[in-house]
Amino acid sequence: MDSLRLADLLLVLVCEGRRALPKSSAAAVPSRVRGLGDGYDRTHRHLIDSIRQRDTDALIEAIESGNVEVNFTDDVGQTLLNWASAFGTPEMVTYLCEKAADVNKGQRSSSLHYAACFGRPEIAKILLRHGANPDLRDEEGKTALDKARERSDDGHREVGAVLESPGDYMASIAGEQSNQTQSEKDADKTAEDGDEEPLPDPQLKRNLLERLLPVFCEMFQKTLVSGVRRSSLNLMRKTVHYMDTNTLASVSCDVDEDFAEKLVGVLGAVLDQEDDIDGHSTVLAVMKDLLQKDAEFWLEQLARLGLFEKVEALAQVTKDTAAVVTTTVVAEPDSPSVEIPRQTSADPANDSWSIEPDAIYRWRDWRVLKSRDSLFVWCDACALEFSDGSNGWFRFLIDGRLSTMYSSGSPETGSDNSDTRAEFLEKLQRARVSVRTGTPLYSVLSVAAPGRKIAVGNWVLECLVDSDLIITNSEGNTQKLTIGEDLPGFHFESNRQTRHVFVAESTLGPEFVTGWTARGGRRLRFKVEAQKQKLADLARELWDGYLKEARGRPREALIRLKQAAAVLKKVGDQMVKADADDVDNDELYTALQTVKASV
């Protein structure tokens, strides 16, 4: 594994230069630690006790209410994320990271050190995905990997395996850069221009890639260790991505004549493994790079080993989380139902029956806020805006796309651009800023209350079933929008009796975090479904862009085989007619060689 990490480092250095490496930062030592006298009061002690007791709800309540700052540091320099990494649940750690907690902060050790010290591999993966630096050292000068190796039980060994190849779990640098503000990008560009560093010799890069790719391929085929296979596959993906068309052709034809067959064999072996979503995604990314560089050659190789059918199967996966699903509503007779009692911590006696500006309300793990002229309802994955004077139309933000839905059931995405999204977010932020710090979080419709309604502008909120919030428009005739407690989106029934389901594939960002994904196992279900959908989308892109048309064309090998068969038939006919002397021996030899190669 150490050699694979070294190879990964070499690839990045040779192909992108030193600037592409993660910026190392010293173990974050806060310049000012809040002490017992001012910050560490009873509330904070209670919160840390809640983390030790794995009470996720208590942590979310404390931060959402504004009583505790997400990067709060106790008297010994430990952050909430430090405590959660050592004793809390994965949901706690994910929630804090999504609320923009500093993953590398800590006076004595970083959160990754705590996860390693207590043998918590799942926590380590979450921290790495949110930008934790595995090279930070604690007050003893040890890295998180060093701490994991101090003990030999299963948990610590698993953490060690994760930290031996942290690049498999870390967020890509490109992805981090895409989230920067324009001013940050300009600042980075200015700094880079002032310290320009030439890339290594292109010939050195080509030689390194030509040598490493067959080695990674062979390592994958000859090992049974899952960690080595995963790292080798990721390095293959990275190497193919860095190669240009000529280098890739050189490896396939000059360096190793059997390389193409070996590489496609590796891709096929990974696709044969069921439920390996990460592996399938990596394979499809490799295939996409190969086809972009030399589609004609690699289509032949993929077809020869039967990968077309495997990609087609992935592309045809039912799109459960489709952006829009429309069905016609058919009236059905009411059937008797049995209501199952449900335990809930909500107290309907404390519910608010009006929604006023300058206060944030909650329904389950969703938030409700009244601005000057609109009503906002949002969770981690979906945000909706209902204009006070609307006759049934509303706006919604899902997967970073802003759309408008009309009462007729016709969604419009034409207005989606960076300016309208910024305007939507700014409008919500202005309303949130107007809420005083320390204002309590009021609950609305915490339990089913048939007959009770809350009116806001032209919109009416009601809860007929505990797990559903229904929003209707006083001028929208029969239209109805339903928010489900566990659905990262909403159902919409138009006034034309059509139903639409909008389901998010990803969360919206730290500005919208309410703790929705941190409760009730939603995080895992949401993540798995989003991964499956992204995999299906990538497979569909490859199938529609390259493979579908290629499968309809005769393969070159088949054409050659048909030509050879025609030659053999001609020779056979000549021999039957006793014209053996007229047989072209060279043509016959070539035809037989073609048949042999095909077999």
Q: Encode pLDDT of 207-246 as tens digits.
A: 888 888 888 888 888 888 877 888 888 888 888 888 888 8
Relative to beta strand 489-493, strand 480-484 is antiparallel
Q: Per DSSP, which regions of 289-357 are E strands? A: 325-328
| Local confidence band at 176 (pLDDT 50, 70, 90 cut-offs) | very low
CA-to-CA distance for 324 and 513, rounded, in angstroms?
24
| Local confidence band at 462 (pLDDT 50, 70, 90 cut-offs) | very high
User: Which of 67, 52, 114, 60 has the alpha carbon at shortest distance from 91?
Assistant: 60
Encoding tokens for residue 151? 């003990």
Paired with 500 in beta bridges are: 326, 492
pTM: 0.48
- Residue 24 in this model has a pLDDT that exceeds 50: no
Query: Longest Cα pair distance anywhere in the chain, in angstroms?
Result: 111
Encoding tokens for residue 592? 């037989």
CB 64 within 8 A of CB 510: no
**Over residues 576-592, mean pLDDT:** 69
Q: Which residue has the higher pLDDT, 288 or 58?
A: 288
- Residue 336 in this model has a pLDDT that exceeds 70: no
- Give the pLDDT of residue 376: 94
- Give the pLDDT of residue 267: 87
CB 468 within 8 A of CB 481: no
CA-to-CA distance for 103 and 112, rounded, in angstroms?
8
- Give the pLDDT of residue 581: 63
- Residue 286 in this model has a pLDDT that exceeds 50: yes
- Residue 375 in this model has a pLDDT that exceeds 90: yes
State the CB neighbour count (10 A cutoff) for residue 169: 17
